Amino acid sequence: MLGKCNYNYKRLSPVTSNEFLLETALFSGYDGLWLAQPVTDWLHLTGCKVRSLEDKDDFSMSLMDQDTQIQVRNLLAAIQSPVKLRVFTQEYECAYCKETRQIAEEVAALSDQVAIEVHDFVDGSELAASLGVDKIPAIAVLGVGDMDYGIRFFGIPSGYEFTSLLEALLMVGTGSFELENNTLSFLDNLEQPLHLQVFVTPTCPYCPRAVVLAHQLAMASDKITADMVEVTEFPHLGQRYHVMGVPRTVIGEHTYVEGAVPEAMLLEKIKVAARPA
């Protein structure tokens, strides 16, 4: 059975970041990483472990404790070339902008190869439009000379999605990704642009696999852009694309696949989306 988390969306009253924390045991060797997750809109999840931590230390000053910072710094030491995080935010009417900016700033501080630029979504509207940023909070991951690989994060990359952010930094900073020869051959001959949106939640353990795969495709082809979209922050998109479980990868407007599917299965869906109308 393919990895997927089902949920029913429900709005709850706001709580502060210090009143509720999510603990996640991140896969791919990132065991023990922590990120504080303020909750205003909550998900009732089935099949995804969530635990309330009433006695955890106060992370109001820093989202990563010292041990986590050491782990992340060691991980990012593999980066060989500069990476830039362009963060789009605004002061008002963005529930997770402050936290998203803080995550990016704390991560960038742990590597000399990672830089961050913060842009106001309104004042920097022309730059945002040029990068396809149409909602916030947003992070565009760029390479040397602001090389744009089409790798985007929309919504806070917390919980399990912190893994996806680290993977994106390593991918862009090392130029290394793993795709099958059949996939690379198809991408080399792709003529029309394709937009992939991977809908996720921070508490879904399967979602990073789908996000990283989509970002690898974007890294390999200048015809593909790939977004992580945290669905609880953009419920109108969840409704538009009928997101009833995560991860859900939407290719273009009408093709989709649910679950953390193998690369070959996603490729077949991409081929369907790429066919002439």
> What's the order of all strands across the beta sheet hosting 41-46?
41-46, 5-11, 245-246
pLDDT at residue 61 in the model: 76
Cα three-residue angle 203-165-146, rounded to 5 degrees: 155
Asked if residues 266 and 226 have their Cβ atoms less than 8 Å apart, the reply is: no
Instruction: Cite the DSSP H helix spans in the chain.
Output: 66-76, 97-108, 125-130, 161-174, 181-188, 207-220, 235-240, 263-274
- pLDDT single digits (tens) 251-266: 999 999 999 999 999 9
Looking at per-residue confidence, does 123 or 5 come out higher? 123
Q: Is it the case that residue 125 has pLDDT exceeding 90?
A: yes
Residue 31: what residue type? D
> What are the residues facing 227 on neighbouring strands?
152, 197
- For 269, half-sphere exposure in the C-beta direction (CA atoms, 13 angstrom radius) is 21
User: Domains plus CATH for the chain?
Assistant: 5-274 (3.40.30.80)
| Average pLDDT of the residues of the chain | 83
Measured CA to CA, the distance from residue 230 to residue 118 in angstroms comes to: 20
Distance CA 196, CA 263 (A): 14
Alpha-carbon span 270 to 231, nearest angstrom = 22
Q: Report percent pLDDT > 70 for the chain.
A: 79
Where do we find the tokens 């935010």? 89
Q: Rounded to an integer, what distance in angstroms lies between the CA atom of residue 110 and that of residue 73? A: 5
| CB of 4 closer than 8 Å to CB of 260 | yes
Residue range 72-89: mean pLDDT, rounded? 98
pLDDT at 3: 72
Cβ-based neighbours of 117, under 8 Å, separated by 6 or more: 84, 85, 86, 87
pLDDT, tens only, 48-63: 333 333 334 444 578 8
* Amino acid 18: pLDDT: 27
Give residue 47's pLDDT band: very low, low, confident or very high (50, 70, 90): very low
Predicted TM-score (pTM) of this structure: 0.83
Helix axes 97-108, 66-76, angle to 10 degrees: 60
pLDDT in tens, 145-186: 999 999 999 999 999 999 999 999 999 999 999 999 999 999
CA nearest neighbour of 125 among 95, 100, 88: 88
